[in-house]
Structure 1
Amino acid sequence: MELREERVGDRQAVRDVQLRAFGDHGDVVAELVDSLRDVVGLSLVAEQEGQVVGHVMFTRSLLDAPRRLVDVLVLSPLGVLPDFHRRGVGSALVRRGLETLAERSVPLVFLEGDPGYYSRFGFAPGAELGFRKPSLRIPDGAFQAFKLPAYEPWMTGTLVYAEQFWRHDAVGLRTPDA
């Protein structure tokens, strides 16, 4: 399996990965990916025998820290073709992404996701690290952060998602009957 940065020619394959990886929500995720290209910090694909089988995107957002705004990244989405689940594709993409971002002096990566999955990479609950989530609809355990070597202790505050997440209503969970 080869891990590499996404190329322009990969766009349809990436869209197909997200459509299939997210099932009933695939359309929403694929549309989100397309719009996040305007604020992408890093987009990686996993390719096996010429086929894109996985994709992860890290998008630019802001941390509203007391001292100043801090450029940070949000890991979203991570998708792997169903036939390639449980083969380490997603893990390899996340690890490579974090390594690349450390080399680029990014201080922090945030995400909304399963703590049972993302804790293996060193993600921890954001609130425990001094961060506030951008929406009350995000479950506390799902709001996670990862400190990279460029992180400094004064970097605390509220995560501010890029506008595209709000436009696609891709922040937190909606209560259908509320």
Structure 2
Amino acid sequence: MRRELFSCFCGLLWSSSVWATDPLGTININLHGNVVDFSCTVNTADVDKTVDLGRWPTTQLLAAGDTTALVPFSLRLEGCPPGSVAILFTGTPASDVNLLALDDPAMAQTVAIELRKSDRSRLALGEASPTEEVDANGNVTLNFFANYRALASGVQPGVAKADAIFMINYN
């Protein structure tokens, strides 16, 4: 009896009615989407930030390397992923490529803008700032300073402004 059941079972396995040779049809499923980094947003008060470096007499910048007083500024980021962030500033470099060139050569002459870290040391263009920890709410404030720096003696008066772009590095 067992041998007959076994034979029947084997016959069913090999019969064409049990194993169809024709495909039932092809179904294509297109799956798509985007994978993006979890990114911070800039606090709305800091989106188009203007840092007023003040009004300085040329006597403050008599020789190459002379600087004006440091002016503090900060960038507040929100909705950041856990961890830490750093800022990297870019822009048009001056003849000293670590400094930010003024927007227009007809502006004040032989002057550039120097960016500084929160410890007041120079932050060169293209150099990442020290990292700051993101708080439990996803917020972080990064503090910086800026000042004018004479590139040579004979600084000429005029408007002295520049634009910097910053990128956020996540750690």
The TM-score range, normalised by the shorter chain, is under 0.3
Q: Give the TM-score of the pair, scaled to structure 1.
A: 0.27
Return the structure number with greater relative CO, CA threshold 8 A, min gap 6: 2
Q: Which has the higher strand share?
A: 1
More helix by share: 1
Q: Which has the larger radius of gyration?
A: 2
Structure 2 length normalisation: TM-score?
Answer: 0.27
